[in-house]
Amino acid sequence: VGQAQRGVPRVPRGSAPAASLFSPAVTSEQIEHLHRRFKQLSQDQLTIRKENFDSIPDLEFNPIRGKIVHAFFDKRNLRQESDGLADEINFEDFLTIMSYFRPIEMNMDEEQLDRFRKEKLKFLFHMYDSDHDGKITLQEYRNVVEELLSGNPHLEKESARSIADGAMMEAASICVGQMGPDQVYEGITFEDFLKMWQGIDIETKMHVRFLNVDTIAHCY
């Protein structure tokens, strides 16, 4: 006749960032589910490495698979002070990354919504900005397009390039407006990025919502 959940590590209350993310939205049931998933992925170890993501068949289909896995180990997403990539992440880090995909709740106020949105966009920004310099350059953008189109042998590199160039031009026109003939657009900064997404409702698109499994299932 047990007491607390078996084997679930307590998310330490002391670590302020993680705790503040888990205001009412994520229930302990969901953390349980995620923990079980974590154990499955890590094969019962305490940390996950990049190789562990190879065992997910559904993920193989995804053209930006590399970037997604990368995002899990990106120290900027893990809210760590240093830069670069971590070698392995533990369950708390896993939850931190998952929290970027929380759905909106009914009771959020303006400020919370804004912060929410910024966080999701920041996550996306980090995905593009692979050299961590705070700007998305033309080359980085091209990389992303090429990855997305990587599976198709018929699409030449040239086409991928022109797509990327076209998109960057559009981005420039939104962010900087009319540019002079000798002005060079360095790259998309985070503020520009935010500007591009103004008015577009990404919060409802970028989340993973848990089904509310009836409380009957877990005898609390």
Partner 1 sequence: MEVVWAVGQVGAVWVAVVLGLIVLPSALGISLGISKAYMWVLVKTLEWATIRLQKGVKKPQLQVPLTPTANGIIERDETPLEKEIALLHRADFEFSHIFYFCRKGFEAIVEDEVTQRFSSEELLSWNLLTRTNVNFHYISLRLTVVWVIGVIVRYCFLLPLRFTLAAIGITSMIVGTTVVGQLPNGSVKNYLSEVVHLTCSRILVRALSGTIHYHNKENRPQKGGICVANHTSPIDAIILTNDGCYAMVGQVHGGLMGVIQRATVKACPHVWFERSEIKDRHLVTKRLREHVADKSKLPILIFPEGTCINNTSVMMFKKGSFEIGGTIYPVAIKYDPQFGDAFWNSSKYNIVSYLLRIMTSWAIVCNVWYLPPMVRKEDEDAVQFANRVRSAIARQGGLTELPWDGGLKRAKVKDTFKEEQQKNYSKMLVRNGSIG
Among 9, 12, 15, 59, binds partner 1 (CB under 8 A): 59
- Out of 23, 112, 139, 159, the residue judged to bind partner 1 by CB under 8 A: 159
Return the number of the residue (16 or 72) whose C-beta is nearest partner 1.
72
* Smallest separation (angstroms) from partner 1 to the CB of 201: 9
Site string for partner 1, 109-148 (x = CB under 8 A): ---------------x--xx---------------xx--x
Contact between 61 and partner 1 per CB under 8 A = yes
User: Distance between CA atoms of 32 and 173, rounded to whole angstroms?
Assistant: 46
Q: Which is nearer to partner 1, 25 or 176 (CB)?
A: 25
Per CB under 8 A, 162 contacts partner 1 = yes
User: Of all helices (H) and strands (E), which one includes residue 58?
Assistant: helix 57-60
Q: What is the spatial distance between Cα 204 and Cα 219, in angstroms, rounded to a whole number?
A: 32
Residue with tokens 């997910």: 56
22 is a contact residue toward partner 1 (CB under 8 A): no
- Please compute, for residue 68, the number of CA atoms within 13 A of its CA located in the half-sphere on the CB side: 14
* Three-state secondary structure call for residue 146: helix
Nearer to partner 1, 16 or 208 (CB): 208
Using rule CB under 8 A, residue 1 touches partner 1: yes
Contacts of 74 (CB under 8 A, 6+ apart): 85, 86, 126
Question: Applying CB under 8 A, does 53 fall inside the site for partner 1?
Answer: yes
88, β-bridge pairs: 49
> Which residue is associated with the tokens 């920004």?
125
Question: Is-contact 203 117, C-beta < 8 A?
Answer: yes
Question: What's the CA gap between 220 and 216, in Å, rounded?
Answer: 8
Under 8 Å between Cβ of 72 and 89: yes
Taking the complex as a whole, how short is the minimal distance between the CB of residue 75 and partner 1, in angstroms? 19
> Which residues bind to partner 1, rule: CB under 8 A?
1-3, 5-6, 32-34, 36-37, 40-41, 53-65, 68, 98, 101, 106, 124, 127-128, 144-145, 148-152, 154-155, 159, 162-164, 166-167, 170, 196-197, 200, 202, 205-220
